[in-house]
Amino acid sequence: MNRKLWPWLVALPWVALPATALRYWQVWDQLPMRLATHFDASGRANGWMSREASLGFALGLTAFVLVIFTIVVYVIHRKYTTDASSWAMLGFFYLIIGVIYYVNSSVVEHSLSGGPVGVGPVLIVVPLAIVALTVVYLGSRRGQSLPAGPVIAQEVHASRWWTIVFVVPMALELWTLAAVPLAGMRVGAALLFLLFAAFAGLTWSGFQYRFSPAGIEIRTLGFRLRSIPVRQVQSYEAGRWNLLRGYGIRGVGNCRAYVWGNRGVRIHTLEGEVFLGHSEPERILRDLDAIKQFAH
């Protein structure tokens, strides 16, 4: 059922492309030769294009996002059909395409009526969608909680540099809260501030790896991200992390990584592969040896 329905669900957002062209075509003769296409934080126009360039940009942006998301969600679902994060990504796909269509339609409407362009809803809906997508992603493939027992070792993998990276946009959002009078913009800025603050807190506290006779538990900010029973651990070795694969919590389906640097340990389990980032991977190897010996 899912495999038959999925291609149609992935293809449906492509309706946004002809719908955008139709929106312009319906009022083409009423549009001015130059359209306001960029607006400041107060909703005032500060950038213009010809109507031909505006149409080309709207269609080009829509097509670009459609191609990227179509490839991503189709590949994810093809490999990991049962992963809830693939369905969450599809929902996020629909939302982003809807937002782009809304913005393009707002540009046309502004050129016809001169009314304000409401950017507030976009700045509210998108952060909330990112939070929802993150919650679904973190909740997938957590595994069952390990039984209580003594802790053999505990390691922390954090990054002060990444904390600074997220503090900068936090400061920008605070400036927006203080400088922009529009309620929608202020709510959106507050949501983005909280989102970046959560990311900064995550990088500062880092990933905590707790090794016990029952296995490995991965946590951050008091939240359990993953539990790996010791009986599922087949092998492990130190490895390098490719910068192009990104940082943080990465991967879908049977592969998951928790990493802020370029070093760590790759653990092969019965349910897939887990990469634990750490600046001293030999410590992770020693702890894994300890819990395996304890189990035996």
Decide: pTM greater than 0.75.
no
Query: Which own/partner pairs from 239-247 qualify as long-range (CB within 8 Å, at least 24 positions apart)?
Result: 239/263, 239/264, 239/265, 239/266, 239/275, 239/281, 241/275, 241/277, 247/159, 247/162
**Residue 146: pLDDT above 50?**
yes
Residue 275 has a pLDDT of 96
Token pair of 194 as six digits: 């909280």
Q: What is the pLDDT of residues 248-286, one digit of tens each?
A: 988 866 788 999 999 999 999 988 899 999 999 999 999
On the question of pLDDT at 5 being above 70, the answer is: yes
According to DSSP, residue 208 is labeled E
- Token representation of residue 232: 């599922």
Q: How far apart are the first and last CA of the chain?
A: 44
pLDDT digits (tens, 9 = 90+) for 39-98: 766 667 777 889 899 999 999 999 999 999 998 887 777 665 556 777 888 888 999 999
pLDDT at res. 292: 86
CB within 8 Å of 13: residues ≥ 6 apart: 66, 69, 70, 93, 94, 97
Please list the alpha-helical segments (H only) found in the chain.
2-11, 16-26, 51-79, 84-113, 120-139, 160-179, 183-205, 281-295
The string over 29-52, giving b where at least 16 C-beta atoms fall within 10 Å of a residue's C-beta and e elsewhere, is: eebeeebbbebeeebebeeebebe
Q: Are 165 and 223 in contact (CB under 8 A)?
A: no
Q: What is the pLDDT of residue 1?
A: 45
Q: Work out the average pLDDT over 4-22.
A: 89
Residue predicted with more confidence, 123 or 284: 284
pLDDT for residue 16? 94
Domain boundaries of the chain, sorted by first residue: 2-118, 153-295
CATH level 3 topology of 153-295: PH-domain like (2.30.29)
Residue 253, pLDDT score: 66
Task: Look at phi and psi of residue 158 and say left if phi exceeds 0, alpha if psi is from -120 to 50, else beta.
Answer: beta
Chain segment 182-233, per-residue pLDDT in tens: 776 778 788 889 889 999 999 999 999 999 999 999 999 889 999 999 999 9
